[in-house]
Structure 1
Amino acid sequence: MNSSPRQKSRLTGNIVWNYFSGIASIVGLLLLYPFAIAISGAEAYGLWVLAFGAIQLFTLSDFGLGTGIVRLLAVIKDPLERRRFVTLATTIFLSLGVLLLAIFSVAFPAYLNTVSINAQVAKLLPLLVPLTGFTLFVSIAGRAYNAVLWAEDRPDIERKSSLAGLILRAAGYAVSFWAGWGAVGVILSEAISLMIPAVVCAIAVFRRYSWPVFHRGSFSIHGLPLLKMSGVLFIGSFALLAGSQFPLYVVGTTLGLTAATAFGGLMRLYQSCRLLLSWIANPFIHPIMTSTKEGLLALYKRCAGLVWSLGLLLAIPVFILSKDIIDIWLGRSSEFAQGALAMLGIGILADAVIQPASQLVNLRRNPWLISLANMGVLLLSIPLILWASSSGDITLTTLATVVVPFVACPLYLIWAWQTVGLRWTKELTVNAALLIAALALLVLVLLLFRAIPIPILGLALAGLSELAVAAVGYLFIRRRMGAQLATG
């Protein structure tokens, strides 16, 4: 089935909005982070960084329910059944939010007992814990409404509201600085900005589906399949996110709040890059779900090409300009994090390969494959992270965080290529290994250019290397995949 002009226009519009809002969010966060530290103080803001990490972990993983909603709602055609499904799905999310709020209220204060907190910063705890819990609850609910909009092929609504939240956050910083509210004002500004997309998405869903429609048979018809599917998807998404958040809490315990602030900035940048990559991939959710088997290859090539290109574009400056970025962004007091920032480039490259492949396999094949792979990556990463953190070296800790996903890229690629119709052959495995070897070579070249004393020259040479690798990789994959499909 060929896409209609309206569908193509919607896909293009979604991609444009994801690019625009994603880049604006990353730039905004980069610019605002040092202001937040300056207004709050490094230790006080470090406390919020740890709280924000918990919100991010549970909201982004969403227990797999978000992707489950997209997959199941997309195939329901009857308007009344769609309303019943949306009612049930949002009710499950709200129940999950209540459960997570209760767990957080106990677990987070217990974790803070392992962190060294001075008396002045400890005064924030009566506000921080309940505010973070409430923000977590609202954000979890927002994931349900956002998933419904994804199934409606309207991810742009959440992107626009996120951009509005970022603008409000900047305004909150300015008011906090002018009024002398300090850390309290910054924390309130960030919490409110995080909740804005959830509220906007809830309103958008209400306008489409009106009031909830409860039905006694909905749980057996829709609820059980949703929970069954989401359990599989949750294992994978939570494992992937836990692998990137776990080092933050290790750093908070071993090195203190000031180090957690710097490391949290790196993780926020890393997660922003990962989110940007996902925002580029997300507009392809609806086309992939509704495409014929024959159309999957074209969709995957387009999605992967965009995500890989952006991943390279993000990773290159991180590699080459990490020293300058840290000096300008967080100041010379955070010079210890320069090497760690460079290591995040490896993680960005890995995620650019993994995200399109994971999305394709989750939507059109067996989500257990991705879930088990992500869990394996986490189980291998945890001992590496604990070993690296015992040295007190943040650079080594960051490398331990990203190296396992990087090495695992071929596995995700093989499954994606099979999903679009390629047969499992020795040649397919060799192709994936050659691609990851090319990425590894690119990393070594980037590290070499990083040593050039003139940063702009290193960046230019790295850019040329990026274009060469991208061109060779594109031609290689296009020829090999086309040949297999022609003979398969």
Structure 2
Amino acid sequence: MKVTPNANRSILWNLVTGPVVLGLNLILVPISIYVAGASDYGVWALCFGAASLLGQADLGLGTSVVRQLAAWRAQREVEREGYAKTVAMGLFLCLGITLSLTMIPAMNLYFSGRHVSDELELRWFLIPAAASLLLMILSRYSISVIQSYGWFYPERILAILGIVVRGCILLTGLVTGAGIGFVIVADISAVVVLVFGSALYMYYSGIGPEFNIIFAARSGVTRPLLQFGVPTFLSSISSLVALQAPLFFVGWSAGYADAAVYSAITRIFMSARMSFGWVTGPSLPEISAAAHVSDHRGIARKNVRSVLILCAVVSCLVAPCLVAGDELLGAWLGAEFSEFGPVLAIVSIAIFLYALYAPGVVFATALGHPGVVAVQNVLLCGLTVVLCVFLVPDHGAEGAAIASLLGIGILFPVNQVSLKKITGFPWLTTTFLCVLYLSLLSLLVWISGLILDDLSAPTVVKILIFGAECAACGMITARYLVPRFGGKVCLRRP
């Protein structure tokens, strides 16, 4: 199986914009905490985190729309494709309204009997969060339609533009000495840019729905969308709950200030998770359209290269966090938060394992096996929640990080073995190479740290040098070594 030029361009775009989005988010998080205050930001992080979590709870319609539209287009069922766009729009709208109205009483129950903020009442946190949830759901519709054509770069551009707008508002709040209100407006503005930008792109590209509501409802496309979407939804929402549930346990047990710090670290995980999808996502329409073709070797080769590229990229983040987590966190959020360095190191290992796990989810889903992924993610969710119940009350944020890592670590071999059955993915060899690469890069960062400590180099200089050497290694590996040797090393011919 060959990767189309369009998919290659999308992957290139994503490799460039992914680190940019992650970097901008890292810059804006400490500004948000400073403008709002740690406690108030912790409350907003919980409310907006719930909205972000439910914003992904689209009944799996996002992935289903991408897959089904691509498949029907490849089969030249143009009328069915048009009806599906209209039906999907109605489903997304109903779902967004329902989830937004459900979120407000649910979060009221979470905060019941607890002091929230001296500046704002709880409703001024919940109403904007619910509004942003509705916008997130609507943006997922238009983004899914766009991505079904293999066009992934519009979302990246809009994401960067949204972060820039958010940054401008936060800087204004920083200069004027504003409080939590500016942070709320800033976060919602990024969502507004995404929803309206994607809708305008879809409209001017001529790929929007046809609004034949009656005929669309009778076309029979609803069942295929939901039939494929339900297991995909269970997979997606379970995965996200596994990532976000520890935050809510920290907020309940350790307080809002600790929740603010853990939310900042979780944002790294969520940004990385989004970037993983950007690298593997461009292959989804292509694999879905050719799912009936038996080419396990080609699919396995694509899977191997996706994992190795993600490993090269994500190790640039993970290695410094493992070696110098205390210093990095102190320089990022402030010296008073450097004690959370072990939390950052533990979460970074979980990010690394998730990078090895993520491509297989996309490939298995595209090949028509969403149920396999769904079962594993439901188990991951349940295991993480149970671990949080036992670990967070006594160990706080560190216990939450351990729960996340153990959940992913325990189910990782199960996921890889099932993926091998579906695609022929050689997971043992690939995982060994990835762990070896991370170990060597971490050793390089550690040696550099020792030399810089002897030279009494300031923390900023150390961070710049760590970033430069990791970026250089990552670029060389992803650009030259993986394309040339990745498939040959991991795939033996029978």
TM norm structure 1: 0.87
Q: Take 1:62 and 1:454, find their aligned partners in 2: how far apart are those partners?
A: 48
Question: 5 Å matches for 1:1-12?
Answer: 7-8=4-5, 10-12=6-8
Tell me the residue number matched to 1:68: 64
Change (3 A) 1:163 1:473: closer
CA contact (8 A) 2:276 2:310 kept: yes
1:198 aligns with 2:195: yes
User: Does residue 340 in structure 1 map to residue 329 in structure 2?
Assistant: no
Q: Which one-letter code corresponds to 1:215 in the other structure?
A: I
Give 3-state SS (helix, strand or coil) of 1:392's partner.
Answer: helix
Aligned equivalents of 1:126 and 1:145: distance in 2? 29
- The 5-angstrom pairing of residues 86-165 of structure 1 reads 86-113=85-112, 115-118=114-117, 120-121=118-119, 123-165=120-162
CA distance in 2, matches of 1:367, 1:174: 43
Q: Which residue of 2 aligns with 1:271?
A: 270
CA distance in 1, matches of 2:114, 2:267: 20
Q: Is the 1:44–1:183 contact (alpha carbons within 8 Å) kept by the matching residues of 2?
A: yes
**Structure 1, residues 416-475: CA drift from partner, whole Å, max 9, x if none?**
3333357xxxxx7xx639936974996799599869973868969x969x99x9999999
Match of 1:21 among 17, 33, 40: 17
Match of 2:81 in 1: 82
Instruction: Quote the RMSD (CA, aligned, Å).
Output: 3.2
The correspondence for 1:167, drawn from 161, 164, 168, is 164
Kept in 1: contact 2:304–2:486 (CA 8 A): no
Q: Which amino acid in the other structure matches residue 345 of structure 1? A: S
Pick aligned residue for 2:181 from 179, 184, 195:
184
CA–CA distance in 1 between the matches of 2:49 and 2:430? Answer: 36
Partners of 2:247 and 2:450 in 1: how far apart? 32
Tell me which residue corresponds to 2:458.
Answer: none
Q: What is the identity, as a one-letter code, of the residue corresponding to 1:196?
A: V
Shift in alpha-carbon separation, 1:32–1:361, aligned structure 2, 3 A: same
Residues 203-222 of structure 1 deviation map (CA, whole Å, 9 limit, x = unaligned): 22223235522234545611
Q: CA deviation at 1:182?
A: 1.8
Give the secondary structure class of the aligned counterpart of 2:213: coil
Contact 1:72 1:226 in 2 (8 A): yes
Question: Is residue 2:413 matched to residue 1:410?
Answer: yes
> Amino acid of the residue matched to residue 329 of structure 1?
W
Displacement of 1:154 in angstroms is: 0.8
Residue 375 of structure 1 corresponds to 378
- 1:195 and 1:441 map into 2 onto residues whose CA distance is 40
Contact 1:288 1:299 in 2 (8 A): no
- One of 206, 209, 219 as aligned partner of 2:207: 209
In the TM superposition, what is the alpha-carbon distance from 1:328 to its structure 2 partner? 0.7
Task: Tell me if the contact between 1:346 and 1:443 (Cα under 8 Å) persists in the aligned partners.
Answer: no
1:308 aligned to 2:305? no
Contact 1:318 1:344 in 2 (8 A): no
Report deviation, 1:56. Answer: 1.6
Please, which of 28, 33, 49 is the counterpart of residue 32 of structure 1? 28
Assess if the C-alpha contact under 8 Å between 1:11 and 1:283 holds in 2: yes
Structure 1 gap ranges (5+): 423-427
Of residues 385-394 and 98-107 in structure 1, the stretch that sits farther from structure 2 once superposed is: 385-394
**How many residue pairs end up in the alignment?**
470
Alpha-carbon contact 1:281-1:307 (below 8 Å) kept: no
